[in-house]
Amino acid sequence: MSLIVHRIGPACTVQDQGRVGYLDQGLSRSGAADLTALHEGAALLGQNPGLAALEMAGIGGEFEATKPLAIALTGAPMQASIDGAPVVWNASHHMEAGQRLVIGAATRGTYGYLHVSGGIASKAFLGSRAAHLTAKIGHTIQVGDTLPVGSGPGVTGMKLGHDDRFSGGVLRVVASFQTPLFDQATLDRFAQTEFRRGSRANRMGMQLDSAGEGFAAKGQLNILSEVITPGDIQMTGTGNPFILLPECQTTGGYPRIATVLPCDLPRAAQTPAGGSIRFQFVSLEEATVLQAAYHAGLAKLPAQIEPLVRDPHDIPDLLSYQLISGMISATD
């Protein structure tokens, strides 16, 4: 089975949960910008959340199934249809051979995900199928590409509720090694400031803009390069914060004022351009509890799916269904 790509957005890549264990060799994790969306798609299809999906930044494309196929759509809501009939987001659907799925622009958020039964079975490298463009691993999907699909029946006709992580909001952070380089007045101002996601953003990181002066650390020009990870908030020479994302570099010399909790990184990555962000410092103990609750929530997703009730207006072959079974009485 496979999906033929007839039209595609400019920044679509195959992503899974990324590759770990290579930070000391200069290779960051990569993987989906919104890991929650991977788990949602797996729950909808009844499969392993470690399988790869197509990550679409801002806009999707047009895809043709070569054989019957189960799909799920999660992440940033996008306009979608199968052979012209609208389909529900955050739900699983069936495609027959030859049918075409069209995914348009995001209506909220940034990253949408197309999941297939059995996962996208592209070639794995170092234990992962995740593209890592800055490391020249994998590539953006192009018109004419054929996406191989793994084996697996997949569950269709299901839907799943989701949180509103697609318009910014509060990001919980913990202190980093270099937080003490910022005086308390600067830290207080940082926590009280409303930031907006700037135009400079990709899978490496996203710039935040705010009114007023920037945020500087003492002796920041003397900081040696140290290991950095996704979620770190670096302050550039202009005092503008950057939140580092899955394809970030592995070392850096800019001071880090804080680190976003992993459970809040999907909200950070999904913040659209101009979206509002605020930061809230929490202790390491609080962060541990919040992270554990997040993982527990992911584990419960399969139990939260429910049947997708279709609108009769969207069922072209409605009259072929047996809507009433047996005899009924108008008086009983």
Q: Read off the pLDDT of residues 73-117 as tens digits, 9 standing for 90 and up.
A: 999 999 999 999 999 999 999 999 999 999 999 999 999 999 999
pLDDT of residue 328: 45
pLDDT given at position 193: 96
Strands 61-65 vs 2-8: parallel, antiparallel or unpaired: antiparallel
Can you tell me the mean pLDDT for 140-167? 92
Question: What sign for the dihedral angle of Cα 38, 40, 43, 46?
Answer: negative
β pairing state of 168-174 and 276-281? parallel
Q: What does the alpha-carbon distance between residue 224 and residue 222 come to, in Å, rounded to a whole number?
A: 6
Cα separation, 171 vs 293, in Å, equals 16
Question: E strands of 183-244, at which residues?
Answer: 195-201, 205-209, 226-227, 232-235, 241-244
Q: Looking at residues 203-221, what average pLDDT do you find?
A: 84
Q: Are 14 and 114 in contact (CB under 8 A)?
A: no
Residue with tokens 């790509």: 5
Looking at residues 269-282, what average pLDDT do you find? 96
pLDDT at 331: 52
Confidence at residue 221, expressed as pLDDT on a 0 to 100 scale = 54
Q: What is the dihedral of CA 301, 307, 308, 311, to 10 degrees?
A: -160
In the chain, what percentage of residues exceed pLDDT 70? 91
- Give the pLDDT of residue 126: 94
Residues 237-275 have pLDDT tens digits of 778 899 999 998 888 778 899 999 999 999 999 999 999
Per-residue model confidence as pLDDT tens digits over 182-206: 999 999 999 999 999 998 899 999 9
Buried b (16+ CB within 10 A) or exposed e, 30-57: bbbbbbbbbbbbbbbbbbebebbbbbbb
Nearest to 235 by CA among 260, 211, 216: 216
Asked if residue 101 lies in contact with residue 65, where contact means CB atoms within 8 angstroms, the answer is: yes
* Phi and psi based region of residue 306 (left: phi greater than 0; alpha: psi -120 to 50; beta: remaining): beta
Percent of the chain residues past pLDDT 90, beyond the cut: 73
Name beta bridge partners: 57.
111
Return the C-alpha torsion angle 229, 29, 79, 276, nearest 10.
Answer: 0
Taking residues 48-74, report their average pLDDT. Answer: 96
Confidence check: pLDDT of 321 > 50: no
Helix runs in 8-151, H state only: 35-45
What is the average pLDDT value for the chain, to the nearest integer?
A: 90
More confident residue, 40 or 161: 40
Q: Which is higher by pLDDT, 312 or 258?
A: 258
Question: Which comes out higher in pLDDT, residue 226 or 123?
Answer: 123
Supply the pLDDT for residue 163. 85
Domains observed in the chain: 2-164 (no CATH), 168-294 (2.40.100.10)
pLDDT tens for each residue of 221-239: 566 677 888 999 998 877 8
| pLDDT of 313 strictly over 70 | no
Expressed in percent and rounded to 5, the helix, strand and coil fractions of the chain are 20, 35, 45
**pTM passes above 0.75:** yes
